[in-house]
Amino acid sequence: MSHDGDEVHTEDVAWAKALASGDREALDRYERELVPAIAAQARRRGCSDDEIGDLQQILRARLLVGDGDGPAIARYEGKSPLRAWVLVAAMRDAIRIRQRAEREAAHDFEDLEQLVDRDELATPSLDKERYRDVFRAAFRAAIHALAPRERNVLRMHLLDGLTIDQLGAAHGVPRATAARWLTQAREAVSKSVRRDMMKQLGTDPFETDALLRWVQSRIDLSLSGLSD
């Protein structure tokens, strides 16, 4: 029974433990009771439907799957009602999502485009500025050309820090499927950038190999995520 004051909310602790273990009934209750409450509170904070969708995915991954430390819900100690505890966690993530949305308000792809500005690598010729500028344009075009799902998994992995397991949980798919989606998104960006750069630069055969090595290194740097 749940009590106020210093007593532990024992029923909520049991629910949290069931959630951490992946119990189907507990998860259904989470979807039925907590998901609408999270959405309502996020909406009151000015989050759009898309931002609320991102928030719900990120929360499911962090609270119910977790990383090396396990699901965050397992660390709930019952000092406050579980609903309130989850809503506090949700609002912390919502603030971060809203801040990101405000930064990218001028452009839907701005957050992923910023990956192109990571530390510079040496270019294979003296025409450094030309190479760098063409790469930036090709990278941005590749991000724009991604399908929404590909763009979303890149964003959640590279910018929100979700692991492959968390991506799978957030989208309700097996780990292998999430890994395949992420690989497809990376490969799509890589192929698009390489194709556009070769088209724009029109390099001669002696320069092509060096340029392609530089391009791939630059793509790998831009798309270097957190550990899988």
**Tens-digit pLDDT profile for residues 152-208:** 888 888 877 788 888 887 777 788 888 898 889 888 888 888 888 778 776 555 556
Are residues 67 and 115 located together in one domain of the fold? no
CA 86/CA 71 separation, integer angstroms: 13
Average of per-residue pLDDT across 216-221: 69
Are residues 77 and 153 located together in one domain of the fold? no
Classify 67 as helix, strand or coil.
strand
Radius of gyration of the chain (CA): 22
pLDDT tens-place string over residues 85-113: 999 989 888 887 776 666 554 445 555 65
CA 158/CA 82 separation, integer angstroms: 30
CA 114/CA 181 separation, integer angstroms: 21
Domain-embedded: residue 227: no
Q: How confident is the model at residue 227 (pLDDT cuts 50, 70, 90)?
A: very low
Identify which has the larger pLDDT, 186 or 38. 38
CA 185/CA 146 separation, integer angstroms: 7
Average of per-residue pLDDT across 70-80: 90
Number of structural domains (the chain) is 2
Beta partners for residue 67, in sequence order: 70
Per-residue confidence (pLDDT) for residue 201, from 0 to 100: 73
Are residues 90 and 114 located together in one domain of the fold? no
Domain-embedded: residue 3: no
Q: What is the CATH number of the domain that holds 192?
A: 1.10.10.10
Among residues 103, 119, 148, the one where a domain terminates is 103
151 neighbors 143 (Cβ within 8 angstroms): yes
Average of per-residue pLDDT across 10-14: 94
Q: Give the position of tokens 């499911």.
A: 60
Are residues 75 and 149 located together in one domain of the fold? no
Are residues 96 and 120 located together in one domain of the fold? no
Per-residue confidence (pLDDT) for residue 45, from 0 to 100: 81
Domain housing 155: 110-222
pLDDT tens-place string over residues 121-158: 444 454 556 677 777 888 888 888 888 788 888 888 88
Q: Is the pLDDT of residue 61 over 80?
A: yes
Per-residue confidence (pLDDT) for residue 105, from 0 to 100: 47
Per-residue confidence (pLDDT) for residue 116, from 0 to 100: 54
